[in-house]
């Protein structure tokens, strides 16, 4: 099967058409309960496919959190396969939030599971962890290039524990997080209109003025909505790179279910606020 157009080019186009909003699909037990669903495979499927049906035809990106499907075993993964297929058929790009990271043949196996065009879980992009060394991601980088997919590399996450690794200073005086951004800038060098290798940078991480976020690639930004960041915060947090930011909203949209109209209205409200903030940034 021939490769897709590079992920960065597809992402730029759909962001320009629909706005840059990413809606997370996080079917954890508390949300299932809020929807009046049982914490079982049937509840998982009802929740996830309702979200896809409601918003996949109008947002740029959807981001299923693999863990919440994997916890139900093979039947949960089967639901995830259907969710990915239905979301992509509706024209949204799917970023699989699996945060895989390993070495050698094991990393290659993870890459094949999510980035091989013939895989049941093939996604437009995959979140990955580089903390066995950026070079450990080489199998995923190579397969992403081959298939037209992308990666989002954990760089500056907003969880408090992340700072002890990501803000650590290397012997060359550069932080580990800055080193990851530099690797991604190199991967994306010369790519137009946007590279396919992005970074995960939390919208609530704090002052980013000392970091060069101009990696010629997308910046997946969790934290908008329930975690405290707002659309209006994005220009001040991301500066000149704000046009390449893909803000993720999960609970801020999902809590409006199970009513499909309410889910759509919430997604459209966030999309409009984000579009306006980015345009004015």
Residues acting as catalytic residues: 99
Residues whose CB is less than 8 angstroms from the CB of residue 41 and which lie 6 or more positions away in sequence, other chains included: 72, 75, 76, 79
Cβ contacts of 11 within 8 Å, gap of 6 or more: 60, 61, 93, 124, 125, 150, 194, 196, 218, 246
Assign 61 to helix, strand or coil. Answer: strand
CA atoms of 236 and 201, how far apart (whole Å): 14
Residue that has been written with the tokens 């992920």 in this structure? 7
What are phi and psi for residue 250, nearest 5 degrees? -115, -80
Distance CA 31, CA 28 (A): 6
141 with 184: CB under 8 angstroms? no
How far apart (Å, rounded) are the C-alpha atoms in residues 253 and 23?
7
DSSP per position, 15-41: HHHH-S-EEEE---HHHHHHTT--SSH
Distance CA 110, CA 128 (A): 10
């Amino acid at each position: 099967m021939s490769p897709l157009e590079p992920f960065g080019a597809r992402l730029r186009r759909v962001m320009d058409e629909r706005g840059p909003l990413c809606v997370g699909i996080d079917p954890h037990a508390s949300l299932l309960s809020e929807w009046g669903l049982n914490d079982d495979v049937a509840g998982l499927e009802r929740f996830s496919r309702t979200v896809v049906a409601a918003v996949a035809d109008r947002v740029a990106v959807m981001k299923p959190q693999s863990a919440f499907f994997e916890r139900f075993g093979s039947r949960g993964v089967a639901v995830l396969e259907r969710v990915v297929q239905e979301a992509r058929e509706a024209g949204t790009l799917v970023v699989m939030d699996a945060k895989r990271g390993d070495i050698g043949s094991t990393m290659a196996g993870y890459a094949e599971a999510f980035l091989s065009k013939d895989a049941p879980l093939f996604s437009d992009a995959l979140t990955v962890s580089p903390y066995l060394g950026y070079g450990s991601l080489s199998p995923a980088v190579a397969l992403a290039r081959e298939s037209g997919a992308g990666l989002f590399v954990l760089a500056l996450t907003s969880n408090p524990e992340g700072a002890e690794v990501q803000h650590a200073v290397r012997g060359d005086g550069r932080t580990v997080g800055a080193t990851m951004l530099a690797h991604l800038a190199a991967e994306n060098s010369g790519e137009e209109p946007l590279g396919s290798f992005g970074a995960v940078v939390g919208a609530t991480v704090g002052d980013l003025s000392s970091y060069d976020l101009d990696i010629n690639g997308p910046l997946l930004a969790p934290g908008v909505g329930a975690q405290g960041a707002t659309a209006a915060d994005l220009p001040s947090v991301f500066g000149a790179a704000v046009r390449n930011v893909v803000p993720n909203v999960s609970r801020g949209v999902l809590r409006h279910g199970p009513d499909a109209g309410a889910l759509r209205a919430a997604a459209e409200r966030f999309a409009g606020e984000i579009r306006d903030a980015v345009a004015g940034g």
